[in-house]
Structure 1
Amino acid sequence: MTLPASAKGTVPFGEYKTWYRVTGDLRDSRPALVILHGGPGSTHDYLTSLAALAELGWPVVHYDQLGNGGSSHLPSRGADFWTVQLFLDELDNLLRQLAIAGDYVLLGHSWGGVLAAEHAATRPSGLRGLIVANSPASYPMWLKELDVLRSQLPPGVDQTLRRHEAAGTTDSDEYLQAVRVFYGKHLCTLQPWPREMLASFYEVYNDPTVYFTMNGPSDFHVIGTLRDWSVIDRCPDVAVPTLVISGRHDEVTAAAIRPFAELIPDARWEIFEESSHVPHLEEPERLTEVLSGFLRSLA
């Protein structure tokens, strides 16, 4: 059960707005835990269970990145607008607007972990710790790993996917059904999917502007502007304690996430044996134990 929000609202981001949700009291002595969702182009919904960490003493901030959820939607904007730097600027702005830039921890899931690592590599003075959850350090490396996972799908599934990808018919029902086969193995193994997972999933397709532009028509067919992105060369610049999280059956394979664990100087890696891409939903008790232990260690 998700804890009720202590505050909700929007902060101005230039001429746009960023929606946020706070659980707990940002005036508490412990640093705020800021949650960066995946996508790009998803929403905070599938990560709302992490608000429970506020009960353990860390105020939790969720937000919807620009382009989706409660933040400004800009469907007419093109690829030149939707850049990694835009989302880094939005994060910096949110930290300042909520007056937590002097004392905070980042938890980035999937694309959010890539974004959080880029932010951490600039060595902001108020950052106390970093959690990179289920994130690829290099999209080119990840795409090679995804080809391996695709080859292990039931007979005919990958052939169906590739036929539609080649034809540009990735909006067809047949393609979407084949996508769900992959997602059921490597995105979320729970059946049925939890309500919060479905909420974010539907939000992506209600306004796919950001997701289609930066990622592509599915998590494993990355043909957007992130297809060549990598943070591997940025990892050695991260100067705060870092927790790396992945699932044994994750779409982000061990090889794709390993550079975070090996190249960030003060990093440790926890693999969740019964999870795919969302351990906070698949193994919530252990995830809470691991996160709370890491947060306590930062003191």
Structure 2
Amino acid sequence: MTEGTVQFAIPGLPEPCQTWYKVVGDLASSPEPPLIVLHGGPGACHEYLLPLTDLAPSKPLVFYDQIGNGRSTHLPEKNGDEAFWSTDLFKNELDNLLSHLGLRNRPVDVYGHSWGGMLAAEWAAAPPSPVSLRRLVLSNSLASMEVWRIGIKALRDKLSEDIQEVLDRSEEKQDFASPEYEAAVEVFYKRHLSLARPWPMPEVQAALDWFAKDATTYGTMYGPSELYISGSLRDWTCIPSLHRIKVPTLLINGAQDEAQDVAMQPFFDHIPKAKWITLDNAAHMSHVDQRERYMEHLKTFLTA
């Protein structure tokens, strides 16, 4: 296991930023293509995806904290700057990391969870196609905010009336910091973020902790919670470009997932070589809720 940072120069900033990364396994000697892990959020950071180390040592893995988050450079002064926090910024960061690790011209597999899946899909579909990409995993993700909203609304409508009233009242007042709102959101999270108990499991808590420490990217790009989309990704879609993804692609979500089937369906409809698995008794953190089954599916797909 090795850790390091790579300089990432961003136009308009006086000094280069630092992208922190961790490599599990041996990139130099392993015959297996490494798995590049793109975390969700934006801002959830890499820790909640560390169960993927179950794939090691036969499969090298590269974890990293996206810029603005975790152990990478934080930029709180860019809070609210929608033009700065673009998907292009994070695609460029990924390319920069791959170049630093000597992986641009070597076969790699890429895994994206939630927002990381959105980023991975955009990166994989961008012309020209990434020549080094061998296989793609889009886990608990969404192809557009339009279809995501449909799924979220359907889940929200199943909450009790009193919880829905709290959510509606808080949104009307734009009051997202009250204990009442936080308690209502937690009800939703226990149903659709993770089903693993006791709540929250360490991996889930790790992601929630990072949101609390620095909400710059999440707040600017998504919003105050999973139930209220107000950030720069509010009209995001990658559906028109999905046909450009030519590599075998695995889609995974949970039956109780925030990423309902309606959010995943366009991936399956438009990516030519897509396989889709939905895990029962699993929510958005399917890799935590059904860890053993989840890893079995990953291993089967990545070694086929």
Same fold at TM > 0.5: yes
2:62 and 2:146 map into 1 onto residues whose CA distance is: 31
2:121: which partner in 1? 117
Determine if the alignment matches structure 1 residue 225 to structure 2 residue 226: no
Q: What is the deviation of 1:284?
A: 0.8
Q: What is the deviation of 1:212?
A: 0.4
2:281: which partner in 1? 274
Percent of paired sites with the same residue: 43
Counterparts of residues 1-299 of structure 1 (less than 5 Å): 6-14=1-9, 15-27=16-28, 28-55=30-57, 57-77=58-78, 78-101=81-104, 102-122=106-126, 123-191=129-197, 192-297=199-304
Q: What is the deviation of 1:290?
A: 0.4
Q: Deviations over 1:129-151 (max 9, x none)?
A: 10000001110221122111111
Secondary structure at the residue paired with 2:267?
A: helix
Q: What is the deviation of 1:220?
A: 2.1
* Count, aligned residues: 291
1:139 and 1:21 map into 2 onto residues whose CA distance is: 31
1:278 and 1:196 map into 2 onto residues whose CA distance is: 9
Query: Contact 1:106 / 1:131 at 8 angstroms: preserved in 2?
Result: yes
1:165 and 1:18 map into 2 onto residues whose CA distance is: 35
Q: What is the deviation of 1:154?
A: 2.0
Q: What is the deviation of 1:155?
A: 2.5
Q: More deviation in 250-259 or 95-104?
A: 95-104
Query: Contact 1:26 / 1:100 at 8 angstroms: preserved in 2?
Result: no
Large movers: runs of 4+ above 6 Å:
none
Query: Contact 1:68 / 1:204 at 8 angstroms: preserved in 2?
Result: no
Q: More deviation in 123-132 or 139-148?
A: 139-148
1:156 and 1:147 map into 2 onto residues whose CA distance is: 16
Secondary structure at the residue paired with 1:156?
A: helix
Task: Name the TM-score, length of structure 1 as normaliser.
Answer: 0.95
Task: Name the TM-score, length of structure 2 as normaliser.
Answer: 0.94
- 5+ residue gaps, structure 2, are 10-15
Q: Deviations over 1:68-95 (max 9, x none)?
A: 1000000011222101100000011111
The alignment yields a C-alpha RMSD, in angstroms, of 0.9
Give the partner amino acid of 2:115.
W
2:260 and 2:204 map into 1 onto residues whose CA distance is: 21
Q: What is the deviation of 1:196?
A: 2.1
Query: Contact 1:136 / 1:256 at 8 angstroms: preserved in 2?
Result: yes
2:113 and 2:227 map into 1 onto residues whose CA distance is: 16
2:163 and 2:65 map into 1 onto residues whose CA distance is: 33
2:12: which partner in 1? none
